[in-house]
Each structure stands twice: as structure tokens, then as C-alpha cells.
Amino acid sequence: MAYLRISTLIGVGAEAGSKHQATLTLPFELRQKTRFKSKLDDGREVGLFLERGRTLQQGDLLIAEDDTVIQVRAADETVTQAEADSSLLIARLCFHLGNRHVPLQINETWLRYQCDHVLDQLVESLGGRIAHISAPFEPESGAYQQSKHQPSSSHGHTHAAENA
């Protein structure tokens, strides 16, 4: 069966100044991949062939080979939401989970991670309260990934090795 090919990421919707014509709702697991087949929310089959090294995020815009503009949506998925009464405890939880290289979505009073009973026990042993909820999961992208507000085509600075 034929599918629509997508190979261009143009940035975040508000910054790109273009109206989307279709949407693609994906869980975090697929938003990390750069080559896969899926279906648009309207049912059309698509194949993604994107540059490696960037996780798709809510609001990202993609261009298909037929010039369809597609907005990425983060799917609701079951995640653990850990809450704490103090910012110090949130910081401690982030430290201990981050030390285990766990992708985290961080807020002032809560953090989210993919469900894992061992991590849930750790959070509770440190004084955090956990709940399993259905919500979009958008963890921090990390120091070496491009930010949500920066298109993948250019990262706005040069490296010393490039100037040598």
C-alpha cells in the first residue's frame, strides 16, 4: 500500500507561521524515532524519514512530499506523576531519577516518567506521592538535543573546530 512520505521538519507551529492541514498523534516512544510508518489522525498512512538526533514534540510541524503540513501531537499515555510538597523534594526526586537516566517531564510541583514500579518505590521511599495518570509525556530534551524552539536546520552558532 502506498504511503505519504514525510522527510522535513520545519519547526514549531507558532514560529513557523503556517497553518497545519493534518495532525499526527504519537506516543513518546515513536516521537523518539526518525524512521517509521504510522497513520495520520485522518487515517492516511505515512512514512517518516527524518534527520536523526531530535525527538518530535507537541506542536512540531512536518512537511510531506505532497506539501501537506502536519502538526505533531503528543498522545495521552499512562505515566507516573510524582508530586511533592516542596521544591527541594522535587529537586531530590529529579536528581535520583536523572542519575538513573530516566526521561523526566518536570514541573514546579510534580514530575512525570514512564511507569515503572521500581521507580515508583524509589519515589515513595524519598517522600514523593505517586499517581498513574493518562497524559501527554513530554520529557526534557537533554543538553545535547536541540530545544523545542529551535528548528533542526540550523542551531545558530559555530563551533571552534568549524572555524579552524
Residue 112 maps to which CATH number?
Answer: 3.30.70.790
SS3 content of the chain, % helix, strand, coil (to 5): 20, 35, 45
- Do 51 and 103 lie in a common domain? no
Q: Which of 113, 57, 103 is nearest to 83 (CA)?
A: 113
How far, in Å, CA of 42 to CA of 60, rounded? 18
- The band of 54, judged by pLDDT with boundaries at 50, 70 and 90, is confident
> Are the C-beta atoms of residues 70 and 40 closer than 8 Å to each other?
yes
Q: Give 83-132 pLDDT, tens digit per residue.
A: 999 999 999 999 999 999 999 999 999 999 999 999 999 999 999 999 99
Range of the domain at 91: 76-136
The count of domains in the chain is 2
What pLDDT, on the 0 to 100 scale, is given for residue 141?
81
Please tell me the pTM assigned to this model.
0.77
CA atoms within 13 A on the CB side of 156: 6
Say which CATH number the domain at 69 has. 2.60.260.20
